Amino acid sequence: MNRLLALVLVAGRRLAGGLLLLVGATFLIYFTIRSAPGDAIDAITPMGTPPEVKEKLAADFGLDQEPLAGYVTWLGRSAHGDFGESLVTVTGEEVMTAALPAFRNTLLLSFAALLVCQVLATLLALVLGEPSSRQQVLTGALYFFTAAPSFVAAIFFSQALNAGIRHFVDTNGYEPPDWYPIPIDAKSIMQYVFAGLMLIAGDGLFMDMFNTVRAEISAVRNAQFIAAIRAKGASTAPHTLRNLVVPFISAFAARLPLVLGSVVIVEYFFTLDGAGYLLLEASKQRDFPIVVGLSVLFTLSIIVMNLVADVVRAAIDPREVARNG
Amino acid sequence: MGKFARLGFWLSGLIVLAVIALGCIAPLVPYEPADAVSYDDALVSPSLAHLMGTDEQGRDIAIRLVKGTEAFFLPGLMAAAISIVLGGLTGALTGYATGFFRTAVLGALQLLDTLPRLVFIILVCTIRDPSVMLIAFVAGILFIPTVATVIRRKVESLASEDYILAHIAHGFSPVRVLLHHILWLQCWPILVRQAAFVFGYVLFVETGLSYLGDYGVQEPTPSWGNMVAQVRSLPSDAPWPWLIPAAAIVLTISGFLAFGNLAARRGEEAVR
């Protein structure tokens, strides 16, 4: 009971901290908007926006008020999920109606890619064991290739794929452009699988994860309590696993921001129906409400991920409660 | 440090030196993109006249590759400088200070750290005139928390070391001990690693956005990113116009990351 209470307290503190971070982050986003050169409303709307739309937008974003009062107005509306209406990308639609389904796709893709990446990194770490000079050719090569930006990896991948397909598959006279990832059908799940693979293979994510995972596994395996358990003749596996859960969750949560950045470019490359694609399209056309709404969603998801990771860690490991309680 | 790691250090060091040299000489090379167009020489394969061949508009790829370093070299240096100077200082301060000041600075750092970097860069680009310098400036600011955190951990672990206490007992001012003995003498390997990382990140963002074609460097000004973007219209039997800059991007990013890590490892062995 006592432990449960302590856990609730930790969760409450984390939640309060998360809310504070959210307020701070939205404040930063809002003042980035306000810092626009010249008349902010001209800077953030597409050319030729009718004046009444501009006025409504200025009222929505509190641009007609003092900065601080404007921020409070905007935050109040945003807290109700009202981020205004899209200007061009999906004209007239509520920002959240357009953004939430896309963002769900993006989150699913990022989480799946990150999870698979962690599993693969763990498998490699288990196979290789402790670092030795004989592995260095392999790890060196992996370092080199996985450091490639995900979009470069994606180009190489689709070029190879297309060349392969031309050789082995009868495309029925249809020749897709070399750089374009197959299949063309936007609804196909394969697009998402390819995008996930590129997230794992690019931007240095894999080796970064591998190093962390291997160090954590090695730290637990070489811990004295494991030696003691082995000396008593008990099985070490359950204890090893239990002690790895906490660092594994940390490693996962810490890399989410990086993946949420890479996913923007990868989604655009594969033209996926996701938040990254929507963000770049909206940004290109200066569809400002969408850009701001998505920025807030991205930030929120990072804060929530850290919050959940903190609470789960505290629930699993009593030492976390003692340290932070 | 093993034989292989030493080889990696020298190879990556060579790449870093080459990129720095290219970045320095690129502004001196006279190049007018419009004059370079010559459709008679389009897609010439690599030869003595054109070492790396030419692209669809008959422009020499080798020169564009050299000029393309201008797109990220100074911005990368600026971002690295911003993040390691400001991150190093705030890291040292938060590692040393106590009380409300420390809590406030740590809170501000955590705040910066929750912003998704690329998304925030795109937000800024939507509002202001996008340029690589602006992107690099924002990237530099957004990397302050990363640098500050590693420096803070190092300072916290060093602050109770006997020789640091001895320095203070000796009458050196805390500022001097912090900046010279801890930050300068002990933390430089960390700073080298972080600087190389931030430089690599700027190259990644610049080439990525130039590839997508809206916020990065615009044609006809060369950037490795918009050179790679030519892949969309190239015939499959003439891959060099995109293959060469793509290889340059991978080599440079890998080179900088590896150099940062291996130089830091050498440095940490030497410092100890």
Q: What is the pLDDT of residues A267-293, one digit of tens each?
A: 888 888 889 999 998 888 888 888 889
Chain A nearest-CA residue for B261: A143
Contact B8, A147 (CB under 8 A): no
CA atoms of B241 and B52, how far apart (whole Å): 8
The shortest C-alpha distance from B58 to chain A (Å) reads 21
A39 assigned to some structural domain: no
A271 assigned to some structural domain: yes
Q: What is the mean pLDDT of residues A146-162?
A: 86
CB contact under 8 A, B122 and A291: yes
The shortest C-alpha distance from B177 to chain A (Å) reads 30
CA atoms of B204 and B206, how far apart (whole Å): 6
Please say if the pLDDT value at position B43 is more than 90: no
Q: Which two tokens stand for residue A8?
A: 């609730």
CA atoms of A65 and A73, how far apart (whole Å): 9
Chain A nearest-CA residue for B120: A295
Contact B241, B41 (CB under 8 A): no
List CB contacts (< 8 A) between A286 and chain B.
Answer: 126
Percent of chain A exceeding pLDDT 90 equals: 34
Interface membership of A253 toward B (CB under 8 Å): no
pLDDT, position A105: 92
Q: Please, which residues 7-66 of chain A have a Cβ atom closer than 8 Å to chain B?
A: 20-21, 24-25, 28-29, 32-33, 35-37, 43-44
Q: Give the domain extent around A253.
A: 95-324
CB contact under 8 A, A261 and B117: yes
Domain range list for chain B: 3-27+65-271
A158 assigned to some structural domain: yes
The pLDDT-based confidence of A169 (bands split at 50, 70, 90) is low
CB contact under 8 A, B231 and A179: yes
Q: Is the ipTM of this complex over 0.90?
A: no
Of A12-21, A191-200, B28-37, B139-148, minimum mean pLDDT range: B28-37
List CB contacts (< 8 A) between A272 and chain B.
Answer: none
Interface membership of B250 toward A (CB under 8 Å): yes
pLDDT, position A180: 58
User: Which of A142, A283, A292, A294 has the highest number of chain B CBs within 10 A, making it the mutation to test binding with B?
Assistant: A283
Pick from B117, B119, B211: which is nearest to A151 by CB?
B211
CA distances from B54 to B26, B31, B58 (A): 19, 15, 5
CB contact under 8 A, A302 and B116: yes
Contact B263, B9 (CB under 8 A): yes
Between B254 and A180, name the one with better pLDDT. Answer: B254
Nearest 5°: phi and psi at A248?
-70, -40
CB contact under 8 A, A295 and B5: no
Please say if the pLDDT value at position A182 is more than 60: no
Percent of chain B exceeding pLDDT 90 equals: 45
pLDDT, position A175: 59
Between B192 and A186, name the one with better pLDDT. Answer: B192
The mean predicted confidence, pLDDT, of chain A is: 84
User: Which of B122, B128, B259 has the highest number of chain A CBs within 10 A, making it the mutation to test binding with A?
Assistant: B122
Q: How far is CA A321 from the centre of its chain?
A: 27
Q: Please, which residues 67-126 of chain A have a Cβ atom closer than 8 Å to chain B?
A: none
Q: What is the mean pLDDT of residues A58-84?
A: 83
Residue type, B131: S
Between A182 and A159, name the one with better pLDDT. Answer: A159
pLDDT, position B196: 95
Residue type, B120: F
Please say if the pLDDT value at position B268 is more than 80: yes
The pLDDT-based confidence of B121 (bands split at 50, 70, 90) is very high
CB contact under 8 A, A306 and B114: yes
Q: In the 8-state DSSP scheme, what is residue A271?
A: T
Going by C-beta distance under 8 Å and a sequence separation of 6 or more, which residues neighbour residue A20? B107
CA distances from A237 to A215, A221, A243, B97 (A): 17, 10, 10, 42
Most confident of A170-174, B38-42, B57-61: B57-61
The pLDDT-based confidence of A56 (bands split at 50, 70, 90) is confident
Q: In the 8-state DSSP scheme, what is residue B218?
A: P
Q: What is the mean pLDDT of residues A210-219?
A: 93
Please say if the pLDDT value at position A199 is more than 80: yes
CB contact under 8 A, B231 and A133: no
Chain B nearest-CA residue for A158: B231
3-state secondary structure B165-208: HHHHHCCCCHHHHHHHHHHHHHHHHHHHHHHHHHHHHHHHHHHH
User: Among B87, B79, B259, which Cα is nearest to B183's?
Assistant: B87
CB contact under 8 A, A286 and B126: yes
User: Which of A21, A22, A103, A144 has the highest number of chain B CBs within 10 A, making it the mutation to test binding with B?
Assistant: A144
Pick from A20, A149, A257: which is nearest to B249 by CB?
A149
pLDDT digits (tens, 9 = 90+) for B7-16: 889 999 999 9
Please tell me the total count of domains within chain A. 1
User: Among A75, A81, A112, A113, which Cα is nearest to A99's?
Assistant: A81
A58 assigned to some structural domain: no
Q: Please, which residues 270-299 of chain A have a Cβ atom closer than 8 Å to chain B?
A: 279-280, 283-284, 286, 288, 291-292, 294-295, 298-299
The shortest C-alpha distance from B171 to chain A (Å) reads 35
Between B44 and B83, name the one with better pLDDT. Answer: B83
Of A174-183, A212-221, B78-87, minimum mean pLDDT range: A174-183
The pLDDT-based confidence of A171 (bands split at 50, 70, 90) is low
Task: Kindly report the pTM of this predicted structure.
Answer: 0.90
Interface membership of B3 toward A (CB under 8 Å): yes
Q: What is the mean pLDDT of residues A230-239?
A: 89
User: Among B227, B116, B194, which Cα is nearest to A265's?
Assistant: B116
pLDDT, position A106: 94
User: Among B179, B111, B113, which Cα is nearest to B151's?
Assistant: B179
Q: How far is CA B38 from the centre of its chain?
A: 34
Please say if the pLDDT value at position A313 is more than 90: no
CA atoms of A291 and B121, how far apart (whole Å): 11
Of A286-300, B68-82, B94-108, B170-184, minimum mean pLDDT range: B170-184
CA distances from A14 to A230, A247, B146 (A): 37, 18, 21
The pLDDT-based confidence of A108 (bands split at 50, 70, 90) is very high
Please say if the pLDDT value at position A45 is more than 80: no
CA atoms of B116 and A272, how far apart (whole Å): 20
CA atoms of B8 and B115, how far apart (whole Å): 34
Q: What is the mean pLDDT of residues B112-123?
A: 92
A44 assigned to some structural domain: no
CATH number at residue A120: 1.10.3720.10
CA distances from A271 to A191, A197, A199, B192 (A): 9, 15, 14, 37
CATH of domain B3-27+65-271: 1.10.3720.10
- Phi/psi class of residue A150: alpha, beta or left (left: φ > 0; alpha: ψ in -120 to 50)? alpha
